[in-house]
């Protein structure tokens, strides 16, 4: 999750100082992704370097306000108008772990799947009961949290369904094995082995 366009979008509403930006971000997202104030200031410095924000006034309390530039406004408009890329290059640790458990000799894949299923069910239960502290659910901040909560529940539901399908797949092929021994072919350094691959980005 990129903090950079989020901070820019908040600054598009008016000048803010660092702690204020952090509070506004967390207020609008239900605190689901807490942001370290150091991360906020580092991001502001990079945005300034890129010409998207500039320092503005300093308050009597010593708060340095930041304002958005015209280039920053254009970047915000582009961000809101563009889709977020959820391409196949994103690594998901649970998916990688289950694929490895299925193919590495000596690993009990059902134990790995069962543990992830239980964690997923616990997360779903907690998410369904969660509320945004101190906010009326009908308030703008409460409704924003509801949007975030719905997205997190949908993602957890999807993971739960995938894990159940994986478990059923392994059960149907109980007499077969997916185990892959280490490959005898030793790839040369820096060169692909010739098999199909998907470039991945963390």
pLDDT tens across the length of the chain (202 residues): 578 999 999 999 999 999 999 999 988 887 778 889 999 999 999 999 999 999 998 988 999 999 999 999 999 999 999 888 777 766 788 888 988 888 888 888 889 999 999 999 999 999 998 877 776 788 888 888 889 899 999 999 999 999 999 999 888 765 556 777 777 777 777 655 555 555 544 4
Q: Which of 32, 11, 65, 3 is CA-nearest to residue 146?
A: 32
In sequence order, the 6+-apart residues with CB closer than 8 A to the CB of 60 are none
State both tokens at 199: 């470039």
Given this model, what pLDDT does residue 21 score? 94
State both tokens at 17: 């100082």
Question: CB pairs under 8 A, 24+ apart, for 135-143?
Answer: 141/27, 141/28, 141/30
**For residues 161 and 155, what is the distance between their CA atoms, to the nearest angstrom?**
10
**For residues 39 and 16, what is the distance between their CA atoms, to the nearest angstrom?**
15
> What is the DSSP secondary structure assignment for residue 183, as one 8-state letter?
P
pTM: 0.69
Q: Which of 48, 51, 29 is CA-nearest to residue 40?
A: 48
Given this model, what pLDDT does residue 201 score? 46
**For residues 10 and 144, what is the distance between their CA atoms, to the nearest angstrom?**
15
Contact 84, 100 (CB under 8 A): no
Torsion from C-alpha of 185, 188, 192, 194, nearest 10 degrees: -40
Contact 26, 15 (CB under 8 A): no
* Phi, psi dihedrals of residue 115, rounded to the nearest 5°: -65, -40
**For residues 152 and 162, what is the distance between their CA atoms, to the nearest angstrom?**
15
Given this model, what pLDDT does residue 144 score? 85
> What SS3 state is found at 17?
coil
């Amino acid at each position: 999750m990129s903090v950079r366009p989020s901070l820019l979008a908040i600054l598009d509403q008016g000048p803010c100082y660092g702690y204020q930006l952090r509070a506004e971000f967390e207020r609008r997202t239900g605190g689901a992704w807490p942001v370290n104030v150091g991360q906020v200031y580092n991001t502001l410095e990079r945005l300034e370097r890129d010409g998207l924000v500039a320092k503005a006034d300093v308050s009597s309390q010593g708060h340095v306000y930041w304002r958005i530039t015209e280039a920053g406004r254009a970047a915000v408009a582009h961000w809101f108008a563009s889709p977020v890329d959820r391409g196949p290059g994103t690594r998901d640790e649970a998916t990688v772990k289950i694929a490895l458990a299925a193919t590495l000799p000596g690993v009990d894949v059902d134990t790995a799947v069962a543990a992830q299923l239980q964690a997923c069910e616990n997360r779903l239960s907690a998410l369904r009961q969660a509320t945004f502290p101190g906010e009326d659910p009908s308030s703008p901040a409460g409704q924003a949290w509801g949007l975030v909560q719905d997205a997190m529940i949908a993602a957890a539901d999807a993971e739960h369904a995938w894990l159940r399908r994986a478990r059923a797949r392994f059960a149907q092929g109980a007499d077969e094995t997916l185990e892959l021994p280490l490959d005898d072919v030793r790839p040369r350094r820096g060169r692909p082995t010739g098999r199909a691959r998907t470039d991945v980005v963390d």
